[in-house]
Structure 1
Amino acid sequence: MTEKIPTRAVPLLYKVYRQVFPEVHKELKYWKKEAHAIPNEELRSQATASIEAKTFHCEGGGIYSLLANENWKQAVRFIVAYQTISDYLDNLCDRSTSMDPKDFRRLHEAMTDALTPSNSTRDYYEFREDKDDGGYLKSLVKTCQTVLRHSDHYNIAHTHIKKLGCLYNDLQVYKHVREDERVPRLKQWFEDHRSGCPQLEWYEFSASTGSTLGIFCLVSYTLGGGMTEKLAEDIERSYFPYMQGLHILLDYYIDQDEDAREGDLNFCSYYEDGERMKDRFIYFVNQTHQSIKELPHRHFHEMIHEGLVGMYLADQKVKYLFQAKGFVKSMLKASGNKAKFFYINSKVYNRIRDGLS
């Protein structure tokens, strides 16, 4: 099992570019076709936009499929379908014709059902006017369920996966309600969980719940046949809050200008200044490094960690951010040489991809 999972950067990237990304794009091509067939104009617009603008979410998540060994294609199928649900619902809520928390909660029950093979699908659009998606969302849910249903050890990890999934759903509800209600709801939610994360600010806790990486890691190990109760506990503890928090804080960092223009909530805006934000990001880098040390295939998880830093900081949106040059330099220094390697590699990949599009 161990020798099949890359532990060095070059073999990892070889598998990612030659194996994982082509399979991810194959799955996305299918869902893009399905999205274009959605009858309702608003739902069709948001579904297609979520795939076109957020392909890199599925690409990044797809790397975890390497933990599934010979079942890696099934892992990619789950990851792409689940991440597509996430991105689609995020678009529906961000650009919503509704501000009803009941609507957001019902929509995100699709993600709960996707993680629970025994659940029946339901009317996820019950509390909104736009309803007819031609079965698109239910099809995504059923695809996830089918993959998980064929995993012999999924029940071992389900409690931990469900916990991360429920935290994610709560975040999506609280951060998309009326603007004057968002921060009070998020702060109260943090107070309910503060004892488990006393070292975090409310907006850092919120960011830590907004990542799907822990779920992808748990599912991929499950499909690879290596899941135990101890491993499930170790992954949850290692990924939440720090690895997931680093992931989403970086995501918010590169979207600061865009979110300011659109009036969207951005957790980076709650740091008192740029220096404090940089210090806390470096804190998350250091804590992530410590938290994944005890995991099997430690070097794989370290590369994911360093790859996140390199990939996000290589995004073209970064160069337009205030004082970005110093921030990038400090983050790469704190993250290590592999982060610099992934940073340079991501810049090259982005140029090639943009040139072909």
Structure 2
Amino acid sequence: MTMRVPITALTLMNSVYRKIFPAVNQELTHWKNRAEQIPDEELRKQALASIETKRFHCQGGGVYALLAGYEWREAIRFIVAYQTISDYLDNLCDRSTSMDPADFRLLHDAMIDALKPGNTIKNYYALRDVQLDGEYLADLVRTCQKTLRNLDDYSIIQGYLLKLEAMYGDLQVHKHVKVEERIPRLTNWYDRHTEESPGLSWYEFSAAAGSTLGVFCMVSYTMNGKMTADLAEKIYQSYFPYMQALHILLDYYIDQHEDMVEADLNFCSYYPDQDVMKERLTYFIGQVNKHVQVLPNQSFHEMIHQGLVGLYLGDPKVKEIDGGAEMTRELLRTSGYRSRFFHWNTRMYYKISGKTG
């Protein structure tokens, strides 16, 4: 069965709740069962925690399967596996006693291998004490490789995917080292990429590097047989840096209190004040809207950024943030009426489910 690309907020939500979320949850159940079999206690704990606390990452990424036509289920299989690698490794780095950049780099080789179907699996844990994961990470990588191996036009997008992953991997290494080394490493890294990030600060460039949305978008279009060299370039230019920066900055915005408690790096904390942050988020919304106009299914891509604004700002954690209500009003107004629709739905979901964030 094929999947039509939604053009309205109602048809999008209908497809998401009836098709995408159930399929994503089915894949996550499979990986949760695999994680429960991990021999090492610490690796098992982090694998299960990443699925439990970051499920919404896979659910959000799964929306891109709507671009994959008949192959939408296979797109979800890839998206969930790739995002689960990302979330699991983020947990391993965030909650690790290791501060070794070489260890973080080797762990993230799993994400490179996931995008290179011809690569052999290696011991990604070789530089840390705990290693027995029962092939959990290796099987996640193999799942991604199997999907990409079957794509006729994969060669068109592979270079772009590896470029996005290289920036993602660099970010994960630099942001998890010793606290005193983080900012110097991130700013030096940013200085080497200024041509790719015109007008962005180092923390905005870092945010843009931290999203997987561009990868999911390209893979899904390729599964549908719609990929061309021109489209791949347009997706890359639309999603990096603007859509991806908006995505991660909103994610960090709602996590400010939590990150302060955990002493984790939060890019939103580097804005001089709330007014500048609001101005910059408004700028990213405008740039995203402008750039997605050149893409096919432009209404879908507009709804992605409107959904990001509505969903993140509908999270109860926004209530903990000084100026959160004002920020929400301003960004919803800027993003448009569909953002308000997604925002209302998100708030109703939290209210009905009794979740507090």
TM-score scaled by structure 1? 0.98
1:6-17 map, 5 Å:
6-17=6-17
2:99 & 2:130 partners in 1: Cα distance?
Answer: 14
Instruction: Give the gaps of 5 or more residues in structure 2.
Output: none
Aligned to 1:204: 204
Aligned to 1:119: 119
Q: Structure 2 vs 1, CA of residues 27 and 313 (structure 1 numbering), >3 Å: closer, same or farther?
A: same
> What SS class does the counterpart of residue 119 from structure 2 fall into?
coil
Report the CA distance between 1:346 and its aligned residue: 1.4
> What SS class does the counterpart of residue 134 from structure 2 fall into?
coil
1:247 & 1:218 partners in 2: Cα distance?
Answer: 17
Aligned to 2:301: 301
Aligned to 1:62: 62
Aligned to 2:312: 312
Report the CA distance between 1:320 and its aligned residue: 1.1
Deviations 1:124-177 (A, max 9, x none): 001001110010000000000011111111111111111111110110001001
Instruction: Give the gaps of 5 or more residues in structure 1.
Output: none
> What SS class does the counterpart of residue 293 from structure 2 fall into?
coil
Q: Which letter does structure 1 place at the counterpart of 2:241?
A: P
Q: Structure 2 vs 1, CA of residues 354 and 25 (structure 1 numbering), >3 Å: closer, same or farther?
A: farther
> What SS class does the counterpart of residue 326 from structure 2 fall into?
helix
Report the CA distance between 1:349 and its aligned residue: 2.4
Report the CA distance between 1:288 and its aligned residue: 0.8
2:34 & 2:354 partners in 1: Cα distance?
Answer: 24
Aligned to 1:345: 345
Report the CA distance between 1:196 and its aligned residue: 2.1
1:142 & 1:202 partners in 2: Cα distance?
Answer: 34
Report the CA distance between 1:31 and its aligned residue: 0.4
1:297 & 1:198 partners in 2: Cα distance?
Answer: 27
Q: Does 1:86 align with 2:86?
A: yes
Q: Which letter does structure 1 place at the counterpart of 2:251?
A: D
Aligned to 2:74: 74
* CA contact 2:205–2:241 (8 Å) conserved in 1: yes
Aligned to 1:251: 251
2:81 & 2:281 partners in 1: Cα distance?
Answer: 30
1:158 & 1:352 partners in 2: Cα distance?
Answer: 42
Report the CA distance between 1:336 and its aligned residue: 0.5
1:123 & 1:199 partners in 2: Cα distance?
Answer: 40
Size of the aligned set, in residue pairs, is: 354
2:306 & 2:198 partners in 1: Cα distance?
Answer: 25
Q: Does 1:267 align with 2:259?
A: no
* CA contact 2:32–2:51 (8 Å) conserved in 1: yes
Report the CA distance between 1:220 and its aligned residue: 0.3
Q: Which letter does structure 1 place at the counterpart of 2:231?
A: L
Aligned to 1:170: 170
1:120 & 1:314 partners in 2: Cα distance?
Answer: 42
2:255 & 2:261 partners in 1: Cα distance?
Answer: 10
Q: Does 1:140 align with 2:140?
A: yes
1:352 & 1:34 partners in 2: Cα distance?
Answer: 31
> What SS class does the counterpart of residue 68 from structure 2 fall into?
helix
1:195 & 1:74 partners in 2: Cα distance?
Answer: 36
Aligned to 1:100: 100
Report the CA distance between 1:111 and its aligned residue: 0.3
Q: Does 1:23 align with 2:23?
A: yes
Q: Which letter does structure 2 place at the counterpart of 1:271?
A: Y
Q: Which letter does structure 1 place at the counterpart of 2:255?
A: D
Report the CA distance between 1:3 and its aligned residue: 8.8
* CA contact 2:3–2:70 (8 Å) conserved in 1: no
1:153 & 1:321 partners in 2: Cα distance?
Answer: 45
Report the CA distance between 1:354 and its aligned residue: 4.3
> What SS class does the counterpart of residue 175 from structure 1 fall into?
helix
Q: Which letter does structure 2 place at the counterpart of 1:133?
A: D
1:24 & 1:93 partners in 2: Cα distance?
Answer: 25
Q: Which letter does structure 2 place at the counterpart of 1:312?
A: Y
Report the CA distance between 1:94 and its aligned residue: 0.5
Kindly report the root-mean-square deviation, in angstroms, between the aligned alpha carbons of the 2 structures. Answer: 1.1
> What SS class does the counterpart of residue 227 from structure 1 fall into?
coil
2:101 & 2:199 partners in 1: Cα distance?
Answer: 29
2:266 & 2:94 partners in 1: Cα distance?
Answer: 12
